[in-house]
Amino acid sequence: MNGFAQRIICLIIGYIFGTVQTAYFYGKMKGIDIRKHGSGNAGTTNALRVLGTKAGFIVLFGDMIKCILAILVTWLIFGRSNPEMTYLLKIYTAAGCVLGHDFPFYMNFKGGKGIACTAGYIIAFHPSFIPFCFVAFMAPFLITHYVSLGSMCIYACFLVIMVIEGQLGVFHMPQSMLIEMYIVAFLMCALAVWRHRENLKRLAAGEERKTYLFKKK
């Protein structure tokens, strides 16, 4: 099987896993359609606001694990026979998972924003990413309580660290594959920004809603 076919299969597998909408199904278990409450977004933040902290963590874990599992499946299929493509195939799988999460076909292509999926990808991609991206999200979030700001920071960190480590030879990939990986990562970042465009407008206007892990007294 050629490299192009492998990339497409990784995207498809990622998309299939991504369509497992944790917030939507958890909401249904609680008797509500999460898309009709709060911001209308089928993601971690809206689940936390509408259903509480426990629901938020369950949805976060579910959306992270589906991306990790998708990457594990594609690695089992292709990774061992194509070690030089491991990280490239991981990012194609993650991209497919984010697309499935953001645009699930059975929900009229109205899903979440893909940040929790990306967190799962960061965990599965390379251990060195975890502390940097964790701090990149938690520091601005804990200071401002704006999830959208933390989300943009984690994507910026993810892209910067990838390029730095790629150029330092951490991934042991040919330069052409590194550039391709950077392009896919950039497109994922661009999609995240586009999905957060209304949040960014509210941030600029000082009208963005704050989110607290636990209810304020």
The helix (run of H) or strand (run of E) holding residue 192 is helix 175-195
Please name the residues in contact with 79: beta carbons below 8 A apart, sequence gap of 6 or more.
85, 86, 89
CB of 34 closer than 8 Å to CB of 27: yes
The reported pTM is 0.92
Nearest to 74 by CA among 57, 61, 88: 88
Distance CA 14, CA 101 (A): 9
The pLDDT tens digits for 29-74 are 999 999 899 888 888 989 998 999 899 999 999 999 999 999 999 9
The pLDDT tens digits for 139-198 are 999 999 999 999 999 999 999 999 999 999 999 999 999 999 999 999 999 999 999 999
Please name the residues in contact with 168: beta carbons below 8 A apart, sequence gap of 6 or more.
none
pLDDT surpassing 50 at residue 122: yes
Distance CA 109, CA 15 (A): 12
